[in-house]
Structure 1
Amino acid sequence: MDLRELLNDLKDNKIDIDMALSKLKNLPYEDLGYANIDHHREIRNGYPEVIYCEGKTDEYILGIIEKMNEKGSNILGTRCRKETFDKVKKIYKYAQYEELSKILKIQNHDIVNIGKGKIVVVTGGTSDIPVADEAYYTAKFLGNEVERIYDVGVAGIHRLLNRRHILENARVVIAVAGMEGALPSVVGGLVDVPVIAVPTSVGYGANFGGLSALLTMLNSCASGISVVNIDNGFGAGYLAAMINKLK
């Protein structure tokens, strides 16, 4: 139940003041002992809280989902183990799982497309797809039209140039790459929209787990590029969604 629905129920005498007060008690956040669920985040930020599943026990994740589900929120979980999802699926039959990106989704109400244009997700290689898919499904879940262009890195730049018409119709581009991380600079030189660069940990030894790609992206000579942390597809998808809903 959101705040507007609660106030309407009170006005229509469907609930009394005492019941309204009891429901308001848990509206700002709900203390579960191991987590404080921020039920007001959607009112403040436009999107509900997202569950970062890595490092949480299955019991904690199920407890958080239960309380968010009671509020009727659409639920997105990142870095979710398949074994955890299997437990969630037994309780919430309509839960969905994207195995490559480890995204958990529970859709309690229709996702309204609030984006003003298209977000395009581009990868340097096939090995970058798990991170790119995290960005893709995050942006879609937050109400955006999203298109993917995968495996078009600088080792064969003609592959990217053949898709240039797609890039030119984007409102935001997410460029995901490992190795030396050159892709965002190339994309930034082709488009007139914001580019969100995502370094991945894909690469050989001197890649240093994505550090080389991160430093390349931070030092890009192309303008209009922002950089998120290594392997942070979720952060890129969320930022792209925020940019895309601006007037």
Structure 2
Amino acid sequence: MPETTSRKQARAAQAAETRQRLIDTAVDLFADNPYDKVGVTDIVEAADVAHGLLFHYFGNKRGIYLEAMRATADGLSQSFANLPDGAPDVQIRAALAAHLTHLRTHRGLALRMILGGRGADPEAWQVFEDARTGALIAGATLLGLDPHNAAVALAGRAAVAAIDETTARWLDDTAFSVDAMVEMLIHVIAACLETAPLLDPTVSVTAAVATILGGDIERAVSRGFSE
């Protein structure tokens, strides 16, 4: 007797739920433990699923580890995907706050993504790199800058490098609040943006810097930068 459509849908939903439960469990375990300290048995027992299902959905431990990395990176991407209504500076602050909160929640994976480097695990690094590229494009666009301009892109990369290093140190010792870190990072981004015209004099960043500082163009100019 052919399987009914409703039964197929129910099986597909159950499979999707099981797969997601494995990913969520892997994220939690890898966030708290180094890769080598987490075994397949640890994941399936914590997820309460049959041992063979992990291999069915992900192939091996590395497969589910990469999915855990993608899930964490997707969470970072959502920082710029679900922005609140408001002025660009409000949206960017909200994105940074969401970014820091997500990294703090998934500290172990976050530190491996930020500090791992290409040599440690190129494929896992690329997952994080794709998420950062999306955030850079979204941020530049929000500030009215061309994200594909070489000078703007390089200034953005400088900001990302500074944010990564600062965030990694913060995750090791979260003595400062998320709000305080957001304000610091806002000024880091503004300072990096101000270097773009040094590479390309045709690029104007005064309005973007004023925007990220809350719309205060006099404050932006008074920082000592002139295009």
- State TM-score, norm by structure 2: 0.30
Structure with greater proportional helix content: 2
Which structure's residues are more often strand, by fraction? 1
Taking structure 1 as the reference length, what is the TM-score of the superposition?
0.28
